[in-house]
Chains A and B, each alone.
Chain A
Amino acid sequence: MRASTCSSSVLRPRTTLLTRPRTSKVVKASAENATESKNLEVMRKFSEQYAKRSNTVFCVDKSVTAVVIQGLAEHKDTLGAPLCPCRHYDDKEAEAAQGYWNCPCVPMRERKECHCMLFLVPGTDFAGSDQDITMDEIKVAIEPMR
């Protein structure tokens, strides 16, 4: 028996390589160790794949990358969708269901504009050269913040 999510009826084009249908129940994660969240690995892999696919690179400071990936994973845990962690929302659930700011957000998909500095156009301010980030790199960056 599957629990339905509020977003299962919203059709929006998915450009990510994650094809698993979003019918899994939303786990309302408590503040337990989020580095155990499988969504952290999911968002890590997504970030690597999407950077390569969009010909963008990670920030020269990879801790920025790590922090954003953690923020995306946390939203995926609590809202069922990777809502952009660098924004204020009047209603997070509604935004996650609507989809504009779900990563990869519309500004990124249309204009390669990622104000989170997760995906940067090579040669622009703060752009590094990596398109990979390991789970160790992420954990090292986010541990001090837990």
Chain B
Amino acid sequence: MALLTRVANVDQQSFDATVLKSSTPVLVDVWANWCGPCKLVAPLMDAVEKEYNGGLKVVKVEHDANPSLISEYKVYGLPALILFKDGMAVAKREGAISKKMILDWLKENGVALAA
């Protein structure tokens, strides 16, 4: 089975289908163009997605283009990582963290790596 495009950007229009209706948990990375730590976190999103190998969908939402998503999920600090399960935002973390901390945070929130 071909995996769909890894860590694509989603916007307000595709958010419902891609994130809220996803059967797998989804990690959303909210970023902005001149936010330095957002750049730091971007490759970690690719790495996490690869490591989960289908068990976690990872997508990015750009801040400037998606004001209603930003406002709906009350994002203030960037980057923000929001974990969605069954259409609900179950956890949110603001600020850049290391890959290990991301994995630990996902595990704490019930999305562990498959053995």
Give which listed residue, A61, A85, A145, contacts B40 with CB less than 8 A. A61
Interface size on A, residues (CB 8 A): 22
| Chain A interface mostly | mixed
Q: Interface readout for A10-35 with B: 1 if CB under 8 Å, 0 if not?
A: 00000000000000000000000000
B54 at the interface (CB under 8 A from A): no
Minimum CB distance partner of A115 in chain B: B95
Docked CA distance A115–B80 (Å): 11
**Given A68-B34, A70-B34, A115-B77, A88:B70 Cβ within 8 A:** yes
A91 vs chain B, min Cβ distance (A): 12
Docked CA distance A74–B97 (Å): 25
A-B residue pairs, 5 tightest by C-beta: A71-B34, A64-B36, A68-B36, A67-B36, A86-B35
B63 at the interface (CB under 8 A from A): yes
Minimum CB distance partner of B75 in chain A: A88
Chain A interface residues toward B at CB < 8 A: 59, 61, 63-68, 70-71, 74, 85-88, 115-118, 125-126, 145
Q: Are A87 and B76 in contact (CB under 8 A)?
A: yes
Chain B interface residues toward A at CB < 8 A: 32-40, 63, 70, 75-79, 94-98
Question: How many A-B contacts if CB must be within 8 Å?
Answer: 64
Give which listed residue, A67, A88, A118, A125, contacts B39 with CB less than 8 A. A67
A121 vs chain B, min Cβ distance (A): 15
Docked CA distance A68–B78 (Å): 12
Docked CA distance A85–B63 (Å): 11
Give which listed residue, A61, A74, A88, contacts B34 with CB less than 8 A. A74
